[in-house]
Amino acid sequence: MNLPEMLADLRELVTCESPSDDRAAVARSAEVLAAVGRRRLGVDPERIVLDGRTHLRWRFGDGPPRVLLLGHHDTVWPLGSLALHPYEIEGEFLRGPGCFDMKAGVVQALHAVAALPDRAGVSVLITGDEELGSPSSRELIEQEATGCAAALVLEGAADGGALKTERKGVSLYLVRILGRAAHAGLEPEAGVNATVELAHQVLAVQALADPVSGTSVVPTRTAAGTTTNTVPALGEFAVDVRARTVAEQLRVDAALQALTPVLPGARIVVEGGPNRPPLEATASDALYLRAMAFDGALERAAVGGASDGNFTAGVGTPTLDGLGAVGGGAHAAGEHVVVAEMPRRAALVTALVREVTGR
């Protein structure tokens, strides 16, 4: 792997800002990425625009794909972030918005495929809305992964370069409380206080967590009421659920859907549900052992954050995540990549692809 070429490619990607919620910026980033991919792979990608968001796909060979390399080129960083956090290399670290999550991984994927003497059966899919929860690309990802022998996800590594062999599933909810308004001073007893009911339900929802099983149930944003002298008629709160297994995800979902009011006359409406299935260890075990055959020092990690690897595992495709950059600080001012690890990680992906495709 040619490190100077990898760094030149990464500089192009990082200095083209691509916040997920800006469709035009993501489209510009896709064109920069397409040019980098054309330079390394010799062919243009297929541009897939869904809900105004640009995703890129390279497919090689005449038959269906056997292995999927998966990543995203959108970031959480708003336009103008480069002014405060410029692209730079200081000693062993490279810095810049989105370098670790996950533009270095995208570069490594392209160079890994470029090093293959035979690319038949390989698909590279780089999406443009992962940081939003992949609303437009989920179906595309699932279709591309279905039938593959492996999905290799180039998200950043866990601490110390560990591969991510487990990711919790994510469920997102909005719990709405419907009460009845009344004058807070003249006749509060005529109202049904949505704020009080909300408090009861927040405590009930929080109690659904099971730390022993690794299940977190976190009430997050809340809102209730209109004016300071009115019994609140409306309230709502969001809930973030993370679970290691499908069974736990479904248990919490059933409990949330079955919430019942405490106050007479109050009503509850629950919206949402599972967003990403868990990436369970069983989906990664065989691929992790193959990776260990190439580098026996590789460790494995279970993490709470989700990725598009949750979707590939959800359709039954063996999935190994965290194959991208070694570094840290995702979504934060300290985001960085360990420069020397980039060629090594790309070479590992090349070796895994050859192993999976029997070459």
For the chain, the 3-state helix, strand and coil shares in percent, each to the nearest 5, are 35, 30, 35
At the topology level, CATH places domain 169-276 in: Alpha-Beta Plaits (3.30.70)
Give the tens place of pLDDT for each residue, 238-261.
999 999 999 999 999 999 999 999
- Which amino acid would we find at residue 74? D
- Which amino acid would we find at residue 355? E
For residue 17, what pLDDT is reported?
97
pTM of the prediction? 0.88
Does the pLDDT at position 359 exceed 80? no
Is beta strand 336-338 parallel, antiparallel or unpaired with respect to 327-328?
antiparallel
For residue 100, what pLDDT is reported?
97
For residue 5, what pLDDT is reported?
97
- Neighbouring residues of 100: CB distance < 8 A, sequence distance ≥ 6: 156, 325, 327, 328, 329, 330, 335, 336, 337
- Neighbouring residues of 18: CB distance < 8 A, sequence distance ≥ 6: 25, 26, 28, 29, 73, 74, 75, 98, 128
Stretch(es) of the chain classified as CATH 3.30.70.360 = 169-276
3-class secondary-structure state, position 186? coil
Closest-CA residue to 125 (of 101, 149, 105): 105
CB 215 within 8 A of CB 244: yes
Two tokens, residue 12: 């192009």
Residue 275 carries which DSSP code?
E
Stretch(es) of the chain classified as CATH 3.40.630.10 = 3-168+278-356
Mean pLDDT (the chain) is 96
Task: Pick 3-168+278-356's CATH classification: 3.40.630.10, 3.10.20.30, 1.10.510.10, 1.20.1560.10.
Answer: 3.40.630.10
Residue-wise DSSP of 8-38: HHHHHHHTS--BTT-HHHHHHHHHHHHHHHH
Give the tens place of pLDDT for each residue, 113-148.
999 999 999 999 999 999 999 999 999 999 999 999
Give the tens place of pLDDT for each residue, 292-317.
999 999 999 999 888 999 999 999 99
Give the tens place of pLDDT for each residue, 3-45.
999 999 999 999 999 999 999 999 999 999 999 999 999 999 9
